[in-house]
Amino acid sequence: MARYADAKAFVAMMRSGTRPDGSAVSTVMPFGALREMSDVDLEALYLHLKGLSAQMAASR
């Protein structure tokens, strides 16, 4: 999550499948479904993920 400066960058990645540096995100991400999420839902997801500690995220 460190590579996403704000929710806007995260939402753009979720819609396009492209990271801020221009590289493609893995195709295992279900972008077809994620693209359909509302901006509000994607921003909420961003805030949730930002709130997880690195330890919590690594254990999943």
In a domain, 45, yes or no: yes
Model pLDDT, residue 10: 93
Domain of residue 16 covers 7-58
The token pair that represents 56 in the structure block: 């919590």
The token pair that represents 50 in the structure block: 């930002």
pLDDT tens for 26-43 read: 888 887 888 889 999 999
- Which residue reads 């997801």 in tokens? 45
Distance of alpha carbon 59 from the chain centroid: 18
In a domain, 2, yes or no: no
Contacts of 31 (CB under 8 A, 6+ apart): 14, 15, 17, 25
Q: What whole-number distance in Å separates Cα of residue 19 and Cα of residue 48?
A: 19
In a domain, 1, yes or no: no
Q: Looking at the 3D structure of the chain, how many domains does it have? A: 1
Ordered per-residue pLDDT tens for the chain, 60 residues: 778 889 999 999 999 889 889 999 888 888 788 888 999 999 999 999 998 877 655 665
